[in-house]
Amino acid sequence: MMQFDRVTVAKEGRTILSEISLDLPEHRIGVIGNNGSGKSTFLRLFNGLERPTSGRVRYKGEDKTDLRQHVGFVFQNPDNQIVFPMVDEDLAFGLKARKLSKPEIKTRIDAVLTELSLTHLRERLTHQLSGGEKQMVALAGVLITRPDLIVFDEPTTLLDLRNKLRFMSVLDALPHPAVVVSHDLDLLAGFDRILHIEDGHIIADGVPDVVIPAYIARSTC
């Protein structure tokens, strides 16, 4: 679905990603690496939050200027994503920007809250939600826009065990292709493909059973 052709990202004279070339057709792709390795910058290229200094990012073989219409982004901290005081208002925000009708907005809100078993949160104040509830509302805010692909930046980092397990179950059930940056190797163990990024380079690319043990061994040396 996404293709990277010799993509480099540099800022203030420092190269963050260097000559990344990838074709990413798999349904579930995990991205691992140490802090500061370039993982989050790589992820932000998927929906245009970051732009290449050189090279090209293609969606379904085409250069797109509207990647955010196709790729949803779930942030590590849901407080960076939730902007309105009421859950239903927050979910409606992205749809109003797309100029959907009020009946269509209501239909989509009803559907996504039902899909994620969040109907009881519809009229809740967002600042009163638990961390797990906020993460699910943030995911709902992405799903409601009906993206083709969803990228997640360390989605379980702020969750306790119960909410982490719930999130893993929801992620597993999603029909959408997903790319997930995470230090949580259990979350990625069942994925189709793992990319290991260090110092702005892809140093390993393969199935979890091969890439994850090599990453652990490298990290403990």
Instruction: Map out the domains of the chain as residue ranges.
Output: 78-146
> Tokens 């259990």 — which residue?
186
pLDDT of 75 over the 80 cut? yes
pLDDT of 99 over the 90 cut? no
Q: How does strand 71-74 pair with strand 54-59?
A: unpaired
Give the tokens for residue 125: 């104040």
pLDDT on residue 66: 84
pLDDT of 217 over the 90 cut? yes
Q: How many helices (H) and strands (E) does the chain have?
A: 7, 10
What pLDDT, in 10s, does the model give residues 153-182?
A: 999 988 999 999 999 999 999 999 999 999
pLDDT of 95 over the 80 cut? yes
pLDDT on residue 167: 92
* Average pLDDT score over residue span 195-209: 98
Mean confidence (pLDDT) of the chain:
94
pLDDT of 213 over the 80 cut? yes
Please state the pTM of the whole predicted model.
Answer: 0.93
Alpha helices in the chain (DSSP H): 39-44, 87-97, 102-115, 131-143, 161-173, 185-188, 208-219
What pLDDT, in 10s, does the model give residues 107-147?
A: 999 999 999 999 999 999 999 999 999 999 999 999 999 99
Contacts of 14 (CB under 8 A, 6+ apart): none
What pLDDT, in 10s, does the model give residues 8-36?
A: 999 998 999 999 999 999 999 999 999 99
Write b or e for each residue in 169-190: b if 16 or more Cβ atoms lie within 10 A of its Cβ, otherwise e: ebbeeeeebbbbbbebeebbee
- Contact assessment for residue 151 and residue 74, using Cβ atoms and an 8 Å cutoff: yes
